[in-house]
Amino acid sequence: MLPKNRVLTPGPTALLPEAQIAQAEASMHHRTDAFVELFRVVRTGLQQLFKTERPVLTYASSGSGALEACVANAIEEGDKVICVNGGKFGERWTKMNRAFGANVVELEVEHGRAVKVEDVQKALEENADCRAVFVQGSESSTGTVHPAREIADLVAKRDNTLMCVDAITWIGAHEVQTDAWNLDLVVCGSQKAMAMPPGLAFLSVSAKAEKMITERKGNRRFYFDIARELKSQAKDQTAFTPAISLVASAAASLKWILDAGVDTLVRNAGDLSAMSQAAVGALGLELLSDAPSDSVTAVRTPGDMDSGAVIKGLKKEFGAIIANGQDALKGKIFRLAHLGNYDYIDTMGLIAALEVVLAEAGLKFDSGAGLKAAQAEYLKRKG
């Protein structure tokens, strides 16, 4: 057989063809009306995706660049912050805050568990001077959602604390209401639910965040300076040369999302997630997470089976690239992606390939059990 090469990872996700082609088509200078028109479409599209009337900034960087924008703008050396660390990306919040001199109260959470709202509440009570809370909406390294909305409710009651959410694999896979839920700084990246290439990061800035950021002067930032970008981007320009071809790609991606509807994109990820969870259960495998994200399903490999062998098998026999665990979870889990441009056929095809590879790796199950469970889940949700 002649397998196709397929990226089936939670980021970069499979590319939307229109977003891919738009890069090659883009040929313009950025200080022109043509760019202004393009960027206005992207800015207003991002506001719809984030469900905010506030500005959503675009940076030429990977998602981590906009995470740094949150830290470098929100805090000054010595500021106290609370970081939820339940995986690789939670750990990144902590490391980044320490790199910028913050006094970090770290809430470590077992991998695969969601942080408890009462633990955040306690930390907030014990640290009245806390300037910001940093959390993932979805921690993709473990496939877990944290209760970011409930945490935001607590933070919203405090005038001097900002709610900073890494929504890189949350937006487009889960319902996210930036304004209604009082999320102050919300970060997204281009290569996730938007199904476009990596290289752009997006950051929404609440009025509270803008006020708190601009009244401080000791921060160490220039490239990621939020105040400067707010000023430039209000005029549909960027402070520094934008990644023009990626901005064109974002316009194509947002057209696809808004034509379908943000809620449809979210439901799509939820349906694929439910199908995948059903399949995993039917094959006798366990999820890593007890608060599973709809962006990515993290599956434990049984006993001493190396997840790397499953992943290699999928690539070799079926051309399918899926994600391993990262850092301490490497070899112990594999991850099935749902956010972005994945559909029923992709998911059923991947489950079918997974069955073959898992059987070869020695897992015992009735052939087709995963497929049957996934299909049943689909039909049930279709109603």
* Chain residues in the site for its own copies (CB under 8 A): 5, 7, 9, 11-12, 15, 20-21, 23-24, 26-30, 32, 60-65, 67-68, 71-72, 77, 95-96, 99-101, 189, 191, 197-199, 220-225, 240-246, 321
The nearer residue to its own copies, 64 or 121, going by C-beta atoms, is 64
Contact assessment for residue 26 and residue 248, using Cβ atoms and an 8 Å cutoff = yes
Q: Min. distance of Cβ 298 from its own copies in angstroms?
A: 16
Q: How far apart are CA 8 and CA 234, in angstroms?
A: 36
- In whole angstroms, how close is the CB of 346 to its own copies at the nearest point? 15
Q: Write down the least CB distance from residue 19 to its own copies, Å.
A: 10
For residue 74, the one-letter residue type is: A
For residue 328, what is the DSSP state?
Answer: G
Taking the least distance from each CB to its own copies, the nearer of 95 and 158 is 95
Report the C-alpha gap between 312 and 290 in whole angstroms: 27
Q: Between residues 100 and 181, which has the closer beta carbon with respect to its own copies? A: 100
Looking from the CA of 159 toward its CB, the CA atoms found within 13 Å total 0
Least separation, in Å, of the C-beta of 28 and its own copies? 7
Least distance CB 29 / its own copies (angstroms):
5
Phi then psi dihedrals of residue 123, to 5 deg:
-60, -40
Length of the chain in terms of residues written: 383
Closer of 147 and 198 to its own copies (Cβ): 198
103-108: Cβ within 8 A, 24+ apart: 103/78, 103/79, 104/80, 105/80, 105/81, 105/130, 106/82, 107/82, 107/83
Residue closer to its own copies, measured from CB, 140 or 277: 140
